[in-house]
Amino acid sequence: MTHQELINLFNETMSEASAIVGSHIFNGIPDDELINAIDALRYMDPNHLGANYSDRLTDALYFIKYGHAYAFEYAAMFDAVLNCENEKAGENAAHIDSIKPVTFGCGSFISTFSLVFAYSNKKENRRNFRIHQPGTDIGVDLTQWPLTFNQEGINAELKQMDIVDYIANHFDPSANLLAFTKILNELDSNVVDAIIDAIRNKAQAGAFSGNVYYICISHSLSEYEHNPSVREIAERIIEAINVNNEFEIDDSIPEYFYQNTVSDDERLKLLPVDPDELCKCYGFVSGDDDKYVSVLKFFGGSFNPAGIDDVTHQLKSHTPEFRAIRTVSQVRMQIIRLTRIEGDNV
């Protein structure tokens, strides 16, 4: 799909979500079903019972609340990966010709949209871009979301199963990028342990025989800052894949992110928030603490679909803390590149 076609698709999907939510607002008052959906997305509430992502209304509300922010965050993540691989290709170094992702906790495939968006932006606007079109994104999720980007032109495939089952029994050995989009923050520690054990078993069986791999992790800021075990997950995943010490590790990939759509004084960079950590975590911390960057500005002002402003205004009038996140300041992500040590090729 072209850059403009992707923008149109995003806006159409957001407009559809706005229409779904708007149909549950009468005289400015949300009905009981919408109030329940709002409550289900209060992740910070200690009494939070979890959201039903197979419910179309919940998905629509989720997309209105997080769609812009997550589309941006994942686009920045893949922008860094694409820039890195393009530079490696130009240096005739080991590189990935085409990203072949597996996304754990794929949900509505926002991250897949972002990968295709980042790639189309590079292909259409950058000379001598050497990386080929991404392969099919294998999305792993227990739930099939009704509102999804998994459609023609996005190139995604849902594997509706738990992550451990997929890695143990269905893992595609051609995959070269493993993306964990917020999901690691939501899993019980026993499940995380089982995922890492499954990855280690695959590595010991020779499933990671390629020359270059990526691990991309998007964190919830609050979980990353307040749950020390979350900070160690990336390192544990890397240790599992590299159980035979076949790879060199580079955790500075987010520094390859750059863009030219904002003025120099608002230039956005990913910088390490914990420079001394192994598998450094990065965020947008280059400006003042209270400085926010508009997601709409990053996307050239194009992601502004009809209907969403009215719906978000009505929701905020009834639920003041509700907002559609369209500014970015507090993002935490890890992108780790594993390159096979010369002489260890199988």
β-bridge mates for residue 213, sequence order: 338
- Among residues 150, 129, 134, the alpha carbon closest in space to that of 59 is found at 150
Alpha-carbon distance 109 to 143, whole Å?
12
pLDDT at 112: 95
Six-digit token string for 345: 């090729």
* 318: exposed, middle or buried (Cβ count in 10 Å: 0-12, 13-18, 19+): middle
Q: Write the DSSP symbol of residue 132.
A: P
Residues whose CB falls within 8 Å of the CB of residue 336, separated by 6 or more in sequence, listed in order: 214, 215, 234, 238, 249, 250, 251, 253, 279
pLDDT at residue number 307: 74
Q: What is the pLDDT of residue 88?
A: 94
Of 271, 274, 277, which Cα lies nearest the Cα of 253? 271
Give the bridge partners for 272, in sequence order: 282
How far is residue 230 from each of residues 74, 134, 233, 238, 254, measured CA to CA in Å? 19, 29, 5, 14, 19
Rounded distance, CA 164 to CA 198, Å? 6
pTM confidence score: 0.92
What tens-digit pLDDT sequence spans the chain (346 residues)? Answer: 888 889 889 999 999 999 999 999 988 889 999 999 988 888 766 556 678 999 999 999 999 999 988 999 999 999 999 999 999 999 999 999 999 999 999 999 999 999 999 999 888 888 789 999 999 999 999 999 999 988 777 889 999 999 999 999 999 999 999 999 989 888 889 999 999 999 999 999 999 999 999 999 999 888 888 888 888 899 999 999 999 999 999 999 998 986 544 444 556 678 888 777 778 888 875 444 445 566 776 776 677 777 788 888 888 888 877 888 877 767 889 999 999 998 665 4
Phi and psi for 26 in degrees, rounded to 5? Answer: -125, 120
Delimit the domains of the chain by residue range. Answer: 3-340
Model pLDDT, residue 289: 46
Dmax over Cα atoms in the chain, in whole Å?
A: 69
Q: What confidence score (pLDDT) does residue 49 get?
A: 61
